[in-house]
Structure 1
Amino acid sequence: MASVLPDGIARAKAAQFISCQGFDIHYTTFSSMLIPAQVAAAHNIVRSEQRIVTNISVRKANQPVRAIVSGTATNLLNQMETMQFEEVLEQTAVYYLASQLVDERDRVSYDLLVTPVGATSACQLSFIRDYIH
């Protein structure tokens, strides 16, 4: 099966990470339209111009680590959505994906808790993204 993340997205995510308790937590968001239709269908991801995907992955010593990921996304109108992350297991990676609707011009604030297997507590991850489509 093809990778969930397009090659360019996989490379771009390396620059966006935090370190917490010896784990590197990588994060990115991208248009759901970047996921090939057959891959999106296999992972129950809705492709739409108004949908973005949040991707979280955790690594330790350059090895993928499973985690529990939860959190919220809040838009410009202060509407908060609880994110539902789905785990995607691949041969050399573990991804946690959630999708959200966004308006034509939107700013979304993300507040996530990531608890890697082996961590003593949850790691907090907060970031903001602007969307124009």
Structure 2
Amino acid sequence: MRTLAKLFLLVSFCLGATINVAQAEQSKRLGPWEVHYNAFNSTFLQPEIARQYNLERSDTLATLNIAVLAAETAGKPAQRVSLEGYAMNPLSVQQRLDFQEVVEGAAVYYIAQTRFTNLETLRFFITIKKDGETQELRFSDEFWRN
């Protein structure tokens, strides 16, 4: 779980000069899970981190990071889940999100990227599934070119 915390801290640190750290990571309780998520411009990724996770850096590309934890279990272990979803722009154009699962020790998180235009608010619709349980994560975020 330390790796996940490091990733969220890294993202928070990278974004700290630009936005409030509270906005860098958000979480929602969805059924049996505590879902942590953040979305940010991919240019905030350090080049070596982008290479390590096979992510593209572009001033019109958003990176989405999601971790699903057991809400009621002490220590909140990471959950391996199935994720699918899309991002929708203000004109209701949908872009499918292709999630990459990253497992590092006890940490499990999911990364996807999607395009945006300058000063565009994207709405995210993500379905989380595991063992017959299905929950919907919905949120929006505004992106701008750097």
Q: Same fold (TM over 0.5)?
A: yes
Q: CA deviation at 1:26?
A: 1.2
1:53-72 equivalences in 2 (<5 Å)? 53-60=63-70, 61=73, 62-72=76-86
> TM-score, length-normalised on structure 1?
0.84
Check the 8 A contact 2:25/2:38 in 1, yes or no: no
Alignment RMSD, CA only?
A: 2.4
Check the 8 A contact 1:72/1:81 in 2, yes or no: yes
Counterpart Cα distance in 2 of 1:80 and 1:111: 10
- Of residues 121, 127, 141, the one that matches 1:107 is 121
Amino acid at match of 2:63: V
- Which residue number corresponds to residue 9 of structure 2? 7
- Of residues 127, 134, 139, the one that matches 1:127 is 139
Counting aligned pairs with the same residue, the percent is: 24
Counterpart Cα distance in 1 of 2:24 and 2:124: 18
> TM-score, length-normalised on structure 2?
0.77
Q: CA deviation at 1:20?
A: 2.5
- Which residue number corresponds to residue 20 of structure 1? 30
Check the 8 A contact 1:83/1:98 in 2, yes or no: yes
SS for the counterpart of 2:48 is helix
Structure 1: gaps of 5 or more residues: none
- Which residue number corresponds to residue 55 of structure 2? 45
Cα 1:12–1:68 change in 2 (3 A) is farther
- Structure number with higher strand proportion: 1
Q: What is the CA deviation profile of residues 28-49 of structure 1, one whole-angstrom value per residue up to 9, with x for unaligned ones?
A: 1012122221221122100111
- Aligned residue pairs total 130
- Which residue number corresponds to residue 80 of structure 1? 94
